[in-house]
Amino acid sequence: MAIEVEGKSFETDEEGYLLNLNDWIPGIADAMAKEDDLDLSEEHWEIINFLREYYEEYQIAPAVRVLTKAVGKRMGKDKGNSKYLYSLFPYGPGKQACRFAGLPKPTGCI
């Protein structure tokens, strides 16, 4: 499978996750969001950028608690919770936001 962005084709897996993390360009997140009927706001981008930074350092998406804490610190304490993240990414911050950010899907008993 693949996603077309800015005239280029990017390979994805069966569930739409980018196969090569290094291929990622911001346009991919916009295109994927559009498919999910979402418009990416500045708040969405804060999360997507944090996910990419964290992944670069640790080679894994952040745990939910690590993410909510970081969001709380950056965007205000009232936003440091799962409810807020789900309001931005209705299909789950871990899975949907990771896909937009070009990260592999976190799988396990989650």
Partner 1 sequence: MAKKKPTFETPELGEYYEVPEVTEGTMAHLSPFVAQPVHNTDLNFPGELVDDWHGKALEKLDDLRTRYRSLQVYLDSCVKCGACTDKCHYYLGTKDPKNMPVGRQDLLRKVYRRYFTFAGMFFPKLVGAADLTRETLDEWYSYYHQCSQCRRCSVFCPYGIDTAEISMAAREILDSIGYGQKYCNEIIAKLNKVGNNLGLPGPALADTLEGLEEDVFDETGVEVKYPLDQKGADILLVTPSADFFAEPHVDGLIGYGKVFHEAGLSWTISSYASEAANFGMFIGSYENMRRVSLRIRKAAMDLGVKRVVFGECGHAWRVAYAFLNTLAGPFDFLDPDYPVPQHIMEFTWDQIEKGNLNFDKSANDEMTLTFHDSCNVARATRMGSKPGGQMEIPRNVIKAVCNNYADMHYDTIGEKTFCCGGGGGLLTDDLMEIRVKGALPRMTALRNVMEEEGVTHIAAICAICKSQFTKVLPYYGMDMDQIVSIHQLVSNAIIMTGQNTDDVETK
Name which position in 3, 21, 40, 75 contacts partner 1 (CB under 8 A): 3
Is residue 58 at the binding interface for partner 1, with CB under 8 A as the rule? yes
Dig out the tokens for 105 from the structure.
Answer: 């899907």
Least distance (Å) between residue 44 CB and partner 1: 16
* Cβ atoms < 10 Å from Cβ of 95: 17
Closest CA to 98 of 9, 1, 12, 8: 12
Is residue 16 at the binding interface for partner 1, with CB under 8 A as the rule? yes
Secondary-structure breakdown of the chain: helix, strand, coil percentages, each rounded to the nearest 5: 55, 10, 35
Which position among 22, 42, 109, 110 bears the catalytic label?
Answer: 109
In the residue annotation, 109 being an active-site residue is answered as yes
Dig out the tokens for 65 from the structure.
Answer: 């608690």
Sites of contact with partner 1 (CB under 8 A): 1, 3, 12, 14-16, 35-36, 57-60, 62-66, 69, 82, 91, 94-96, 106-110
